[in-house]
Amino acid sequence: MADDLPVCQVVDEDQEEHSFLYLLLVALLIVGFLIALLLRHFRSKYLHESTVFIFLGGVTSLIALFYRAHRLETAISFDSNLFFLVLLPPIIFESGYNMNKRVFFANFTSIFCFAIFGTLVSTITVAGGLYGISTFGIFRYELAPMECVCFGALISATDPVTVLAIFKELKVDASLYSMVFGESVLNDAIAIVLYTTASRFIDKPLSTSAVVLGITEFFLISIGSVAVGIIVGLLSAILFKYSSLHAHQSIEFMLLLLYAYSSYLLAEGLGLSGIVSILFCGITMAHYTRRNLSPETKAFSIHFFEILAALSETFVFLYLGLSIFYALGNYDFMLIIFAIIFCLLGRAFNVFPTALLMNFRTNRESSRRKRKIPVSHQLMMWFSGLRGAMAFALAMDFRTKTEHGSVFLTTTLIIVLCTVVLLGGCTAKALEILQI
């Protein structure tokens, strides 16, 4: 018994530490929500809730760093597994489950082109631009072609949560909201698949066969992930249609929740993209499964997934702030500057040519139901290309796969902070200037 005592003491101390850490996180969330309430009360135009949570997390991590709280440092450092397996699935599923299907599918061609074409163009612009500049010896580090491709893919993941929140608050045009929202959701899924595919070739020489294999793998992962999501969604619809679950609403909702999460885990287990799978599972469930639910479960599920997604998004921003000072490592000032420039250029090369193409198509079809994308909306879409936690999480993963991973992580972090704080903070003013 005496030998067991030290073990028990260690376990108790470990539980106490974790309890304190969770209490700290809950306290930060409470403080953040109270500040957010004040911002809403005073209708702040330049300081958004996401910035508040990043700031709170940053201050906490700075204090922990200053006092050399090593255990706290380890506990609050960004965990990509927690992000991808716990925090991200509810956000992506809710975006599919609660989306405005009528407006989304009315603009689906434009959204699809902006997402697919945009991600590829952004990746090529950033990767090609940085690699081209690096050949002149401007950067401190010599960058490999596949390093630039991986970075171009991960930094192409947009995250306009701040912009969309302001859009919703100011009740902007539904088509503009739908295009920015839909593009960001599909863009995240494509960026993850593109990054995952490219990172598998990081240690291999760039050749024609490698490019062909990479493109083939990209399409196979994309199609397979969509198929898994739709199949799981349809299976859930069949279950709820032919079973008598209306009298057992708690079980009905739990099965709905488990079906949604199983689509993510199944796709990941098959080597596909869980994000793509759970997105299309959400869309399928919204169209087929939800109509077979009891009225109470249907109403509850809509609000539950909305609240869960909002809480996950909030925690992501707090978690991002907590990781700021631990993620900072080696940096290259010129790399950061040129990366920002090429991100802005890549966004422009996506939005304006695609919008021109969509407007030309509208003219050709002469359809009264279709509207052109006005210049003001195009400028706002370009402005909405914020980077967020998705890019940061992918950069955390990339850090372990290349010798320059730390440099790319620091670059990503700076881009995320600049876009969320500066562009996100100026969104309301941009809408005012563009008269949207």
Whether residue 304 is predicted with pLDDT greater than 90 in this model: the reply is yes
Name the region of 302 (left: φ>0; alpha: ψ -120 to 50; beta: rest).
alpha
Task: Identify the residue with better confidence: 157 or 169.
Answer: 157
| Separation of alpha carbons 194 and 198, rounded Å | 6
Which range is least confidently modeled, 6-10, 75-79, 283-287, 413-417?
6-10
Instruction: Give domain 82-433's CATH number out of 3.30.1360.200, 3.40.50.720, 1.10.357.10, 1.20.1530.20.
Output: 1.20.1530.20
Per-residue pLDDT band at 75 (split at 50, 70, 90): low
Delimiting residues of CATH 1.20.1530.20 domain(s) in the chain: 82-433
Whether residue 104 is predicted with pLDDT greater than 50 in this model: the reply is yes
| Separation of alpha carbons 198 and 152, rounded Å | 10
Q: What is the pTM of this model?
A: 0.85
| Separation of alpha carbons 121 and 108, rounded Å | 19
Give whichever of 69-83, 93-107, 255-269 has the largest mean pLDDT.
Answer: 255-269
Angle at the Cα of 390 from the Cα atoms of 93 and 281, rounded to 5 degrees? 20
pLDDT in tens, 231-265: 999 999 999 988 878 878 899 999 999 999 999 99
For residues 209-225, b (16+ Cβ closer than 10 Å) or e, as one string?
A: eeeeebeebbeebbebb
**Token output for 423:** 């562009």
Whether residue 169 is predicted with pLDDT greater than 90 in this model: the reply is no
**Token output for 29:** 């969330």
Query: What mean pLDDT is predicted for residues 207-212?
Result: 74
Asked if 130 contacts 152 with a C-beta cutoff of 8 angstroms, the reply is: yes
| pLDDT value, residue 42 | 82
Per-residue pLDDT band at 22 (split at 50, 70, 90): confident
Mean pLDDT of the chain: 85
Whether residue 187 is predicted with pLDDT greater than 90 in this model: the reply is no
| Separation of alpha carbons 420 and 104, rounded Å | 25
Burial of 152 (0-12, 13-18, 19+ CB in 10 A): buried
| pLDDT value, residue 4 | 54
| pLDDT value, residue 128 | 94
pLDDT in tens, 28-55: 999 999 998 998 888 777 788 888 999 9
pLDDT in tens, 119-129: 899 999 999 99
Task: Identify the residue with better confidence: 72 or 268.
Answer: 268
